[in-house]
Each structure stands twice: as C-alpha cells, then as structure tokens.
Structure 1
Amino acid sequence: MIEFKNVSKVYPNGVQALSDIDLTIDDGEFVAIIGRSGAGKSTLIRTINKMHNISSGTLTVNGHDVSALSGKDLRAFRRNIGMIFQSFNLVERTTAMNNVLSAFVPDMSPLNAMIGNFPEAMKLKALESLDSVDILEKAYTRADQLSGGQKQRVALARTLATNPSIILADEPVASLDPITAKQVMDYFKKVNNDGITILLNIHHVELALEYATRVLGIQNGRIVYDGPANKVNGDVLNAIYGDTMEFGHVEA
C-alpha cells in the first residue's frame, strides 16, 4: 500500500510541485496519472521511491516511512520498487541480457560485479524476465540494435528481474509511435494482472483510459480527479487540463 498524508513538495527554487496530497493506492491497482506538463505528475511518482524528498506530510509505502529511510535501508526499500523511464536507461553498447543482469549488481560483491561474474540463478532469472515480455530472442542483441518498443520491454524485464511489488513508470511510452505504445502498454497490463501495483504517469489520455482501472488527474500540484477510468468524461478533462477540449483526443 502507498499512502500520502498531506504531502507537499517545494523545490529549492520555490516551485510548489505538490500541495497537500492525500492519496491511498492499494496493492495490485493499475493507476494512471494524467495532467499537463509541469502539473506534478513526475514529482508525485518520484517521491514514492525517494528520488525526490517530500517537503512536508507523511508518505508511507508498504509500511515504511519513506522520509526516514537512508543508506542501506533506502537501497533495500528501492529493491522492491521498479522504475521505468521514458528514455529506457539502457547501456546501449551491451546486450539486452547484460542490461537485465545489471539489476542484480547491488546484490553482488564489487569484484564479481566488475567482471560480470553472475551466478547461474541470476542468469536464469534474467532470461525468464525477458521471456515474460516476449523478447527472449533478443537476449544477446545489443541494445543499440533494438527498436524503441523493444528497448522499453528490456527495461521492463530488468525491473521484473528483482520481483518488485510496485512498478513506477514515468512517461514510458511518450517516445513511441501509437502502435508500439499500445504494445508496451499491453505488457504493463500483463504485469499488473500478475499482481504488481502499477503507477504510471502518461500524457496519452486515450491510453490511460484504456489500460488503467483508476485515474488521477493533477493540476498545479493538486489532485482534481481520483476515480475509475470509465467515469472520466469531458467535464473531468476540463477540470484537469483547464481548457475546453474534445474528449478522447487530449495529449498534454
């Protein structure tokens, strides 16, 4: 469970990114966050694994007070939370397999990590993770030879390798064409069906409504909509985006 209680975030330059967020996300939910650029979507996601510190309030994840975590406790906490980025964050000059294996580096001795001496159990888990997103045949292909959609599937496999209970995705399909974006979203849905909580920041409203069961709408650091995806209509979108828009064709 993820629980925000009166959480605010103010950046050093004075920008108020989040204001008095009260929010509970239960285990196994698929939640999409929508809103204009700069509304606070990425900040909200990145406070959950303490990539960004909150300024006030309380944020609890799986029973842990996130603000109190540091050092090895924070590293252990993050092992249970996967993170997917728009830019894939792969090492381009090595294989898909090696990119997935990199997820295990924090569990290894510095020497074994440096020389790439991964135990067989880790190698098998990496292959299983690639297979789970249907890209096993590219295991020994260099990342720079993969398409954008394939790279994002490798990034998802890398996250799955550590058996997370939560996956955070920050605009994971923003750089993909519409057909490939839907294919990648299919894998997020598959992962969610396996019981993993998905919290996904996305600017394609159509995809948010198609794949998520719950939608959060953020405007100026505040949640202005929190409800089922099938209840989002033109009035809701106007409240989130602030302008009159044609429903179903919003990308912001």
Structure 2
Amino acid sequence: MIEFINVGKTYPNNVKALQDINLKIEKGEFVAIIGLSGAGKSTLIRCINRMHDISEGELIVDGVKVNALKGREIRNYRQRVGMIFQSFNLVTRISVLKNVLVSFVPHLPFWRKVIGAFSKEQKIKALTALDQVGILDKAYVRVDQLSGGQQQRVALARTLAQNPDIILADEPIASLDPVTARQVMDDFKRINRDTEMTFIINIHHVEMALEYADRIIGVREGRVVYDGEAKNVTEEVLDYIYKGNVEELERNTEERSYV
C-alpha cells in the first residue's frame, strides 16, 4: 500500500508543487492522475520513487517511511518501483535485449559491470519480459530501428524485468499516435490484471484514463481535488478538475442526490 499523509513539496524557488496530499493506493490498483500541465501530477508520482524528496508530511510504502530512507536503502527501495518515461530513456544504438538487461546493472559485481557480463538467469528474465510485451522477436534488433510504440514496449519490458511491485508511468503515451497509444495502454492493463502490480500513470489523455484506469485522481494547483472510481467521472467532475468550477460541481451533485 502507498500512503501519502499531509504531504507537501516546495521547490527551492518557493513554488509549492504539492499541498496537503492525503491518499491511499492499494496493491494492484490501476490509477490515472489527471489535471492541467503544471498541476503537480509528475511531482506526485516522482515522490513515490524518491526522484523528488517531499518537504513535509510522510510517504509510506508497505510500512516503509520512504522519506526517511538514505543511501543504499534508497537504491534497494527503487528496485521495487519501476519508472517509465515519455522519452523512453533507451540507448538507441544497442539491441533491444541489451536495453532490457540494463535493469540488472545496479546488482552486478564491479567486474561484470566493466565487461557487461550478464548471467543466464538475467538473460532469461529479460527475454521473458520482452515476451510479456509481445516483442520477443525484436530482441536482437537495434532500438533505433523500432517504431515509437515498440520503443515504449522495450521501456516497459526493462521495467518488468526488475520485477517491481509498483510501476509509475510519466506521460507514457504522450508522443504516440492514437493506435499505438492504445496498444501500449492494453499492455499496461493486461500486465496489471495478470500480475497485480500497482500501476500509477500521469496522463493527459482523459479518454484513455477513463477507459483503462480503475481510479482517477484529479490534481489542480498541487492539491487533490478529485479521487474516485473512473466510472463516476462526469463532465462536471472534469470541469471541476480542470477549471475549478466548484459551484457547478456542487449544484450537479446536489441535483443527482435527489433523483
């Protein structure tokens, strides 16, 4: 379980990115975080894997106080939390398989890091991850010969190879065409269902968020302004998340309560 308790994040320039965040996310949930650019969505998910340190409050994952971890503890913790970026963060001049094997580098003895020697077990895990996302046949192809959607699948396979408990995705389909974006979201949903990994996605595509996520968290100006099941998100709720039209949301909520 992931729990935010009165979490705040203030950047050095005194910009408050997050304020009074209180959330509980259970194991196996598929959560989409939506809101305007600059609302705090990326900061919210990057606090979970300690890419950003919180300024106040507590962030607890399975009983571990994440904000109290130091040094090696942070590195060990991050192995449980996979991260997928919009830019893929792949080395395009090497093969797909080698890109996935990169996920094991932090665990290699120094001599193996120097010569790039991976164990048979690690290679099997990498190939299994590629099979999970449907691109096993591309294992020995250079990444720069793949489409954008295939590259995103390589990034997902690299994350899966480390067998995380949580997968965070920061705008994973922003640079993809609609058909490819749907294929990637299908992969996310299938893996979430089959493995019970927790998926938390920061996403601008509202229609995709409502279709694939079980739960929607709406963020505006660093605060959580909506938290509920995707099926309960209405036009009024979206208007509230993106425009802050409080009176309209309250009026419609009251009207529905009398029906």
Q: The TM-score by the shorter chain falls in which range?
A: over 0.9
The residue correspondences of 1:34-183 to structure 2 (distance < 5 A) are 34-183=34-183
Report what 1:219 is aligned to. Answer: 220
| Local SS of the residue matching 1:36 | coil
More helix by share: 2
Instruction: Decide which structure has the larger Cα Rg and report it.
Output: 2
Q: What is the SS of the residue equivalent to 1:70?
A: coil
2:207 equivalent in structure 1? 206
Q: How many matched pairs?
A: 244
Read off the aligned partner of 1:71 and give its amino acid letter: G
For the residues of structure 2 that align with 1:66 and 1:50, how far apart are their CA atoms? 7
Report the equivalent of 1:12.
Answer: 12
- Superposition deviation, residue 114 in structure 1: 2.1
- Structure 1 runs of 4+ aligned residues shifted over 3 Å read none
Paired residue type of 1:224: V
* CA deviation after TM superposition for structure 1 residue 111, in Å: 1.7
Once residues 114 and 180 of structure 2 are traced to their aligned partners in structure 1, the CA distance between those partners, rounded to angstroms, is 35
Partners of 1:145 and 1:62 in 2: how far apart? 40
TM-score, normalised by the number of residues in structure 1: 0.95
| Deviation readout 1:154-213 (Å, 9 max, x if unpaired) | 000000001101000000000000110000000000111020000000000000000000
Query: For 1:143 and 1:70, how far apart are their aligned partners in 2?
Result: 35
CA distance in 1, matches of 2:229, 2:13: 35
Residue matched to 1:229 = 230
Q: What secondary structure, in the 3-state scheme, does the structure 2 residue paired with 1:198 have?
A: strand
Unaligned runs of 5+ in 2: 246-259
Return the TM-score normalized by structure 2.
0.93
- Give the distance between the partners of 2:182 and 2:188, measured in 1 at CA: 10
CA distance in 2, matches of 1:125, 1:50: 26
Amino acid at match of 1:83: M
Separation in 1 of the partners of 2:147 and 2:127? 19
2:24 is paired with a residue whose SS is strand
| Structure 1, unaligned runs of 5 or more | 245-252
Evaluate the alpha carbon distance shift between residue 243 and residue 7 of structure 1 in structure 2; reply closer, same or farther with a 3 A threshold.
closer
Partner residue in 1 for 2:249: none
The CA deviation at 1:243 is 7.1
- Between the aligned partners of 2:198 and 2:240, the Cα distance in structure 1 is 26
SS of 2:144's equivalent in the other structure is helix
Distance, in Å, in 2 between the alignment partners of 1:224 and 1:203 is: 16
Q: How does 1:181-196 map to 2 (within 5 A)?
A: 181-193=181-193, 194-196=195-197
- State the identity as a percent: 61
What is the alpha-carbon root mean square deviation over aligned residues? 0.9
User: In structure 1, what is the Cα distance between the partners aligned to 2:134 and 2:114?
Assistant: 29
Amino acid at match of 2:234: N
What amino acid is aligned across from residue 181 of structure 1 in structure 2? A
Secondary structure (helix, strand or coil) at the match of 1:172 reads: coil
Letter in 1 for 2:133: V
Counterpart code for 1:144 = D
Offset, 1:70: 1.4
Report the 3-state secondary structure (helix = DSSP H, G, I; strand = E; otherwise coil) of the residue aligned with 1:94. coil
